[in-house]
Structure 1
Amino acid sequence: MKEIFMNIRKAEQIPLSKKIWYTGFILLCGISLGIISKFLDMTAVNGLPSFLQTLDLGNFFSRLGVWIFLGTVIAVYSKSPLRAGLNVFLFFAGMVASYYVYTVAVAGFFPKSYMMIWVFLTFLSPIMAGICWYAKGDSIVSIIISSVILMVMASQTFVFGFWYWDLINPLELLLWIATILVLYQSPRQIAKVIVTGMFLFLIVGSRIPLLY
């Protein structure tokens, strides 16, 4: 079984000091983004600089698409599936902890039911990250995993129906394009990923509810 997984993508070894530094930095990023996200969520739009009002970052960070993208980036650029799981888990743990500590300490309320959803996703994230890590491999399995990732990102970017096709948010489009760049390995590989991913979106992904 181990050989099968190694044929998809081989893990790389890095010094322990780099492992600690990288993982610590990822945890710090999660904590920082959790605080920033809650700050933007609590701040009135007209209280922000004009360029932030235009970007509407408060709503952007409240949607799951940006977090799926960041988790994917952390996972695929980790050196092994185990490290992908650890890094992504700590990123989300830091983000969720800082977000809700800020919520309780500053906003003065505790949205338990909503928090439990994020706690569940945080504990699920290592498994998903370990799977996503293989997206950068060299096999049909990697193509399938990459296509599913792109399908999920497309479901958070486009609204598709029998007579219409619409864009949810320009920032979501940038994330979708960035996802393609992250998954890119060769022109032939990424062409397969885009075609397969968008086909899956049309038949399956368009039925996935928008994740807020």
Structure 2
Amino acid sequence: MKKFLNDIRYTENRVPLNKQIINSVLILFLGIALGFFSKFLDCTPSNKLPYIFSYLDVSNFLGRFAIWVTIALCVSIYSNSSLRAAINVFVFFAGMVTSYYSYSKYVAGFFPRSYAMIWIAFTMISPILAFICWYAKGKSNLALILSAMILAILFNMTFVYGILYFDMRSILELMTFVCAIVVLKRNTIKDTMLMFVLSCGIAFILNFVIPFSFG
């Protein structure tokens, strides 16, 4: 625990306030743009989109959790402090959810209230999750375990499996999972492999305890 607290003091860097504000505004605009883009794809017939979008099923991919969790993880890890991580991830999801459902209501002409409530609730708790995730960048054993737990959640969003089968949801989910490994990688290959093995074990336990998917 002492080493974990030392990691916190070591990794929280000071950044000028004006730069912090600019970064948060840019992250907000990123969320708005991605939310708009996601709903645009959702409302556009596949035969009017480039073939690659249809082939990779980008619209449905953006409707699942893995990509958004991975983006939030990147925003959190690369923020300069746990507090900034909480703020940045919140403004990202606030922008994304607002633009997505504004497009749905004012352009597409419908508002799926139940789904919107799920995403609003997720947005409200996202600062807490981002605050915790930021500490995965540390060098302690607790940070390694936290990284493995995050990766385990993404593992279950990427793969579907049971006693006699194992498959991935899509190549895009696999790419987000690999991205998460890169972001969470440890200082040595050995520790990174340990993180990955731990994440697999945790994922199997979570899959048994929580028998429904967030994919």
TM tier, shorter chain? Answer: over 0.9
Alignment check: 8 A CA contact 1:65 1:153 kept: yes
TM-score norm. by structure 1 comes to: 0.94
Aligned partner of residue 167 in structure 2, secondary structure: strand
Aligned positions of 1:1-212 closer than 5 A = 6-9=5-8, 10-186=11-187, 187-205=189-207, 207-211=210-214
Please give the per-residue CA displacement for 1:160-185, whole angstroms capped at 9, x wherever unaligned: 11111111111111111111001013
CA distance in 2, matches of 1:90, 1:5: 28
- More moved, 162-171 vs 30-39: 162-171
Amino acid at match of 1:209: F
Are the counterparts in 2 of residues 38 and 102 from structure 1 also a CA contact under 8 Å? yes
- The SS at the match of 1:156 is helix
Deviations 1:29-66 (A, max 9, x none): 00000000000111111110111111211001000111
Listed one character per residue, the Cα deviations across residues 94-131 of structure 1 (whole Å, up to 9, x for unaligned) are: 00000011111111112112111111100100000000
CA distance in 2, matches of 1:4, 1:103: 48
Does structure 1 conserve the Cα–Cα contact (< 8 Å) formed by 2:76 and 2:86?
A: yes
Taking structure 1 as reference, are residues 208 and 138 closer, same or farther at Cα in structure 2, changes over 3 Å only? Answer: farther
**Alignment partners' CA distance in 2, 1:110 and 1:62:** 15
Q: 1:209: how far off?
A: 2.4
- Count of residue pairs the alignment pairs up: 211
Partner of 2:182, secondary structure, is helix
Say whether the 8 Å CA contact 2:4–2:138 is kept in structure 1.
Answer: no
Question: Is the Cα–Cα contact under 8 Å of residues 152 and 203 in structure 2 kept in the other structure?
Answer: yes
Matching residue's letter, 2:66: G
Question: For each residue in 1:170-210, what CA deviation from the matched residue of structure 2 results, as whole angstroms up to 9, or x when unmatched?
Answer: 11111111110010132132112101001111222364522
Cα displacement (A) at 1:135: 0.5
Which runs of at least 4 in structure 1 moved beyond 4 Å after TM superposition?
none
Structure 1 distance, partners of 2:12, 2:186, is: 17
